[in-house]
Each structure stands twice: as C-alpha cells, then as structure tokens.
Amino acid sequence: MPANRYYTPQDFNLDSIIELEPNEATHLKTVMRNQVDDTVEIVNGKGLLGRAIVFEITKRGVFLKIQNLEQIPYPKQIVLGIGFLVQDRLDLVLEKGCELGMTRLVLIKTEHVGKEGFTDAQIDRMRRVLIAGLKQSGRYWLPSIEIKQDIRSFIEGNDQVYFGDIDSKSPPFFKALNLKAPFKLLVGPAKGFSSSEIQLLKNSPHCTGVYLSDAVLRAETAATLMIGLANHAFLLGSFHLQDQA
C-alpha cells in the first residue's frame, strides 16, 4: 500500500481544502499518526492524484490542502461479468479484481442463482471493499459496479466476450485473447451456467469459450485468474511495443 495515501469521493483542485471522510480521518490520526504539515497523497477513484499537506486536525475532522495535482489516464479496460455470489466470495472478486486492474464489474442474475439482487447496504459494502483494494494496490481508478438480470443483456453488443468453459477442447485464454478489439470477461456463478445459458453463449458470434485450468475452479478463482491474465497480456503488449521503439 502506498504510504500515507487516502481516499475521498470528492473532486478537488489546486489549493482546495478537502475534509476527509470519517473513516479516512480516523485512519490518518490513529493508524498512520499523521500530524499537521505532514505530506500525504489523496485519490478520488477517478484518476485524480493530489499531493497535499495535513492542514488541520480537530475533533470535528481532518483537513488537507492540495499542493499538487496529477490526472492519471484511464487504464486499459478489463470488464468482468460474473453470476451473483455469496458475500465472502464476492468480496474476494472485488478486492483482487481491483488490485489486478479490473475497471468494471457486472453482476449477473444467472439461471442457477436464486438471489434477486442486492440491497443499497450491500452495494455500499462492495464500494468499501473496492476502495480498500484501490488504496492497497496503488491504483487511481475505482471500478464501477453494474447489475444485469440475465446473460443476454451482458453479451449484447459488438464486444468480444471470453467466458470460462470447462470443455478442455476450448482454446486456452491466452491463445484466444485478442487485445486489438474491445472485450469482456464472463464467469458463471458457483453452480455454473445452465445448459440454456451455455447454448446461448456457444451460439453467439461474439462469444468464445476459453479453457482456464485442468482443475475445477471456484467462480471467484476463475474470475481472478481471467482478470490477472488479461492484465498480464496488456503488460506484455506494452513491453513488446517498447522493445520495437
């Protein structure tokens, strides 16, 4: 985790004074033990990095004064669609997905899922997990969260969709992945895709089943693996371009 980095949902400008959210203020005071005039960093999850000084610490709150700004470009898009999961497994996808470069998470009500959706409190919890992952990994863009009611609505459009397939005859992910075209990743829920969902995916011209492992993977493991492989492919592509320069 980058030392002395804090999060705010606010936008900020040079010389503006930002009041930290209560949990971030507590972390600054009691965990990191920052003092007035200490230099810290602040991010807003929208690519804005501010270097600031601790301007004031009171019982009412903690205030930072922005001294330097940097706008970080939006990263390569890694979109993950996944069937609804129970909370602890979903937390793992959120945390590790954010660390590995996921830019958007789409939660999908698949046919093998009884859960109808998520409460506002559950969505808020997801955002807190993502914020922790953002700070831990040193990233600057907070992944967005969407909810869709079926797989068809996720795969519509022209983006290529790579879905985890247990068929060993399917191509390995790295072999199938094309970085030159927009793509999305798709993983089923804990009980897997239904037969009708698999048929839908295999009949779609924009969907490609990919073989991930010779072992049966949990949904959260498959999701983390696919995000990590996609991020690594982007890194390899960047190094290749540098070598050619």
What confidence score (pLDDT) does residue 241 get? 42
CA–CA dist 11, 122 (Å, integer): 25
Judge if 94 and 185 occupy the same domain.
yes
Give the CATH number of the domain where residue 96 resides: 3.40.1280.10
Judge if 92 and 125 occupy the same domain.
yes
Judge if 27 and 106 occupy the same domain.
no
Closest CA to 148 of 126, 178, 180, 116: 116
Judge if 48 and 160 occupy the same domain.
no
What confidence score (pLDDT) does residue 242 get? 45
- From 71, 101, 117, give the residue that closes a domain: 71
Judge if 48 and 107 occupy the same domain.
no
| Other residues' Cβ atoms within 10 Å of the Cβ of residue 240 | 9
Judge if 183 and 200 occupy the same domain.
yes
Judge if 54 and 143 occupy the same domain.
no
- From 71, 87, 108, give the residue that closes a domain: 71
Which residue range(s) make up the domain with 53? 5-71
Judge if 138 and 233 occupy the same domain.
yes
Q: Are 221 and 187 in contact (CB under 8 A)?
A: no
C-alpha 64, offset from chain centre: 27
Judge if 133 and 184 occupy the same domain.
yes
pLDDT in tens, 219-242: 999 999 999 999 999 998 765 444
Which single residue is written with the structure tokens 């807003």?
A: 44
Judge if 172 and 202 occupy the same domain.
yes
CA–CA dist 23, 140 (Å, integer): 19
Give the CATH number of the domain where residue 67 resides: 2.40.240.20
Judge if 108 and 207 occupy the same domain.
yes
Report the number of distinct structural domains present in the chain.
2
Q: What is the pLDDT along the chain (245 residues), one digit of tens a residue?
A: 566 899 999 999 999 999 999 999 999 999 999 999 999 999 999 999 999 999 999 988 999 999 999 999 999 999 999 999 999 999 999 999 999 999 999 999 999 887 788 999 999 999 999 999 999 999 999 999 999 999 999 999 999 999 999 889 999 999 999 999 999 999 999 889 999 999 999 999 999 999 999 998 999 999 999 999 999 999 987 654 444 44
What confidence score (pLDDT) does residue 245 get? 40
